[in-house]
Chain A
Amino acid sequence: MNESLAITRFLNEAGETSHFIARFFRQWFKPRFELSEFTRQCFVIGYKSLPLVGLTAFIMGLVLTMQLRPSMIDYGVESQLPAIVGIAIVREIGPVITALIFAGKIGSSIGAELGSMKVTEQIDAMEVSGTNPFKYLVVTRVLAATLMLPVLVLLGDAISLYGSYLGVNIRGNTSFVFFWKQVLDNLSFSDVLPAFIKSFFFGFAVGIIGCYKGYNSSKGTEGVGRSANSAVVISSVLVFILDLIAVQVTDLLNLY
């Protein structure tokens, strides 16, 4: 009984989310694109998450390198350390960690912002002021999140690799140029491209879930908190699910 209720609720939610996504695409292509609000959101979304993304990326690169070193020495392939770390970061760790940080930072803030605008009737106020709130609030934020996450991922990858370079040099002695040469020699276009493409999807997922949760927030301050919270939880899980799908797709297409 309880399970069937949970399943019904899940299906309902999934249905409504798809509805919301369809509405997003319909509204996106309607004329009068909100350009200034879109650029503002790009700045806010990208800039706000940059320090956090940079910090976590740096630590991940450094720690990963230090953790891998003993095993690499055991197998006698210590010199391959930059190559291995490079592949791990670019293919998987960079996009996923960045997307998770992004979900925590941006997903929650979009959810809370739109949620409180909803419950205090600010969204209604926009509508009576000659503004289509869906275009003005949702379309701009979702597009900004979709475009900004890949940029953050690229930056995060670079910072991560710098962290890794420092990690290599704690015990060894590798020149900066040699380190980068080793990383780039072992990376091919087919490593970078799928990772780059999937980060667009991660960004879209974070943006659309944050907006969906905020826009459909229930009345009261409790509802706002709940939207922010579930925006983070659902978009984080979605990042992993999309990652799973992405690896299957690249595998099928024989991209690796």
Chain B
Amino acid sequence: MTLIYDINKQQAVVNKNTDDTTETVLSIRHLYKSFKENHVLVDFNLDVSKGETVVVLGKSGSGKSVLIKCIIGLLQPDKGDIELFGKSITGINETELDKIRAKTGFLFQSNALYDSMTVRQNLEFPLRRHWIKVSQQQVNDMVMESLEDVGLAHTVNMMPAELSGGMRKRIALARTLILKPEIILYDEPTTGLDPITGKEIIGLMMEIQQKYNTTSIIISHDMNCVRTAGNRIVILVDGMCYACGNFEQLLKNTDPKVKQFFEGI
């Protein structure tokens, strides 16, 4: 397998990338979102700079998915502002939003592969729909390149239903990567996978991060993922950015609400 490689070496490279750049890609200011009486996000703030990998930790139902759906404009926040690539995405028109979305990758928690389409059609979909002018030959090349990145070139003519859970996750990742996004939002990329496949997926994400110097926001419960992939960890409690720091800093934190995430490590 080409995917297994030295994670520690990768970590050093990732850290170096973030030190020499300060350009802010994403900035979230005073974000509020509630569903009826359920106040999910309450005054959430976050800044992410270029090339950085931020991991968001939080209990199930704490609003992690809601947070990244707000970032990509799938949910409208009640209050507050989100700036992506220096443009506010709240109250922006559809065309402008699509332009920003073309530069943003989103890996869904449930993969969201189109099950009426083959793997090839799944991957072609974002290419064609963003109305990017490319020839059929280029489309084919991009599809194959993306599939090779995730090591699944042989599945190109299969239907999603014929694939295993881990393969589906990788195809979803390939579809996310096909437009070479500048920022990728991952919603629980390793949940429901066995530890080995999980590690492979993390390896893949970091390989991509290094290859294209993308900015990433990763939502995860997986401590292995948190430890290896994150430059910075944000803990989401009660709808706020409760604590923030790198893995070692948070591990030493004595606040019980922070401590519970690191129990047993």
Binding site for B on A (CB under 8 A): 113, 116-117, 120-122, 124-132
Contact = CB atoms under 8 A, between A and B. Distances in A.
A116 B115 CA distance: 10
Interface of B: 69, 72, 74, 94, 98, 101-102, 104, 106, 108-116, 125-126, 129-131
B99 to A, nearest CB: 9
Given A128-B101, A130-B98, A122 B126 contact: no
B106 A128 contact: yes
Contacts of A121: 108-110, 112
A129 B108 contact: no
Interface residue SS majority, chain B: loop
B114 A122 contact: yes
Nearest to A123: B112
A125 B94 contact: no
A120 B110 contact: yes
6 closest cross-chain pairs (CB), A and B:
A125-B112, A130-B130, A121-B112, A129-B126, A130-B98, A130-B129
A256 B40 CA distance: 61
Contacts of A131: 125, 129
Contacts of B129: 126, 129-131
A124 to B, nearest CB: 5
B104 A128 contact: yes
Contacts of A132: 94
B108 A130 contact: no
A162 to B, nearest CB: 35
B1 to A, nearest CB: 28
Nearest to B94: A132
B94 A129 contact: no
Contacts of B111: 120
Nearest to B75: A124
20 contacts: A120-B111, A120-B112, A121-B108, A121-B109, A121-B112, A122-B113, A122-B114, A124-B108, A124-B112, A125-B108, A126-B114, A127-B74, A128-B72, A128-B106, A129-B101, A129-B126, A129-B130, A130-B129, A130-B130, A131-B125
Contact of B112 (A113, A122, A130): A122
Given A120-B115, A122-B115, A130 B110 contact: no
A119 to B, nearest CB: 8
Contacts of A127: 74
